[in-house]
Chains A and B, each alone.
Chain A
């Protein structure tokens, strides 16, 4: 499983918990993976949007600039499930080798 897939899994998992504010997604993932630049996370997020796994919409605001939120689509839910399965297999394989 590549790191890109791992980041994709994290983004999809966060969105599976509920709609997410785009900027917040970048900050949260960058805090967990400080060696990955926010621009790279943003590129993955846009890639997911382009592939139809997520869709974005403008949230309601009171005065300030409109915030963009992201939510999972049906295709995104399927991709999330597939990535999660791959992750579990990888984790089990590593555990079987005594790598924890």
Chain B
């Protein structure tokens, strides 16, 4: 029971307090909670959340909430823009690159400064990175088939009549899954180990990559037979992928 209280307290401390202060407070609380039942702890100390909220410095906590809000917005706003693409089309690709750069740079700045890790990567990071890489590879695969107009290779996926709809659905699901993984990783970066921000960054890159391709699929632009029409799109996807991989690597170091 005491362990439950301590683990909840530990999560609350890491959410409300800067990492160094959270570690110091937890060290003190280990001594304070020793030998008491859950009931006594609740009576004498209050809920873990309330106990830690009292220690939070309003300015530092507001700053963290603002960083969290901006990083979450870097995931959510591109998706919201894609839903209303018609209003955003002249600036949407530039905006996507800004969200990707901002999300990557801000998370690296915020979490690498507070590095708290040991040598071993926390459990779960590697499988999730592999999953996100598979998602990005999936986007590349679909993009490759569409851009090279190799429609016949997609016949296994759906009938010709349903192909467009199926690709849209598949892309949406992949983007949503990558966004959810990235959001969870963002929370874990604060509560657990700062290297979880690598998962956030790769998830954000996957979302931006998926959305960029999704926009191409849903845009009303007709390229006809203009030779090399696909080139700017491929260059954009390469830049997104490389930037994402580079920042992920930096976050893991």
Interface residues on B, range: 10 to 19
Q: In residues 4-32 of chain B, which contact A (Cβ within 8 Å)?
A: 25, 28, 30-32
CB <8 Å contact, B28 and A37? no
- Cα distance A43–B55 in the bound complex, in angstroms: 5
Structural contact, A23 and B46, CB atoms closer than 8 A = no
B84 contacts chain A at the CB level, 8 A cutoff: no
- Tell me if B's interface is mostly helix, strand, loop or mixed: helix
From B29, which residue of chain A is reached at the shortest CB distance?
A42
B45 within 8 A of A: yes
User: Is residue A79 contacting chain B, with contact meaning CB distance below 8 A?
Assistant: no
Q: How far is the CB of B13 from chain A (nearest CB, A)?
A: 11
Are the C-beta atoms of A37 and B46 separated by less than 8 Å?
Answer: yes
Is B94 positioned at the interface, with any CB of A under 8 Å from its CB?
no
Contact A30 B55 (CB under 8 A): no
Q: Chain B, 79-110, contact with A by CB distance < 8 Å: what is the 0/1 string?
A: 00000000000000000000000000000000
Q: Which of B25, B30, B32, B45 contacts A46 (CB 8 A)?
A: B25
Bound-state CA distance A50–B46 (Å) is: 23
Task: Flag if A30 contacts B44 (CB, 8 Å).
Answer: yes
Contact of B32 among A26, A40, A65 (CB under 8 A): A26
**Is chain A's binding surface mostly helix, strand, loop or mixed?**
helix
Per-position 1/0 for A20-31, Cβ under 8 A of B = 001100100010
The residue in chain B whose Cβ has the minimal distance to the Cβ of A65 is B31
Within 8 A of B (CB), among A38-52: 38-40, 42-43, 46, 50
Q: Are B50 and A39 in touch, CB under 8 angstroms?
A: yes
A interface residues, tally (CB under 8 Å): 15
Which residues on A sit within 8 Å (CB–CB) of B46? 37, 39-40
Is the CB of B54 closer than 8 A to any CB of chain A?
yes
A residues within 8 A CB of B32?
Answer: 23, 26, 38, 42
Closest chain A residue, CB of each to CB of B55:
A43
Residues on B close to A: CB < 8 A?
A: 25, 28, 30-32, 44-46, 50-51, 54-55, 57
Q: Can you list 8 pairs linking A and B with CB atoms under 8 Å apart?
A: A37-B46, A37-B51, A38-B44, A39-B50, A43-B54, A46-B55, A65-B30, A67-B31
Seen from chain A, the residues whose Cβ lies within 8 Å of a Cβ on chain B are 22-23, 26, 30, 37-40, 42-43, 46, 50, 65, 67-68
Kindly list 13 other residue pairs between chains A and B, CB separation below 8 angstroms, not including A37-B44, A42-B51. Answer: A22-B28, A37-B51, A38-B32, A38-B44, A39-B50, A39-B51, A39-B54, A40-B46, A42-B28, A42-B55, A43-B55, A46-B55, A65-B30
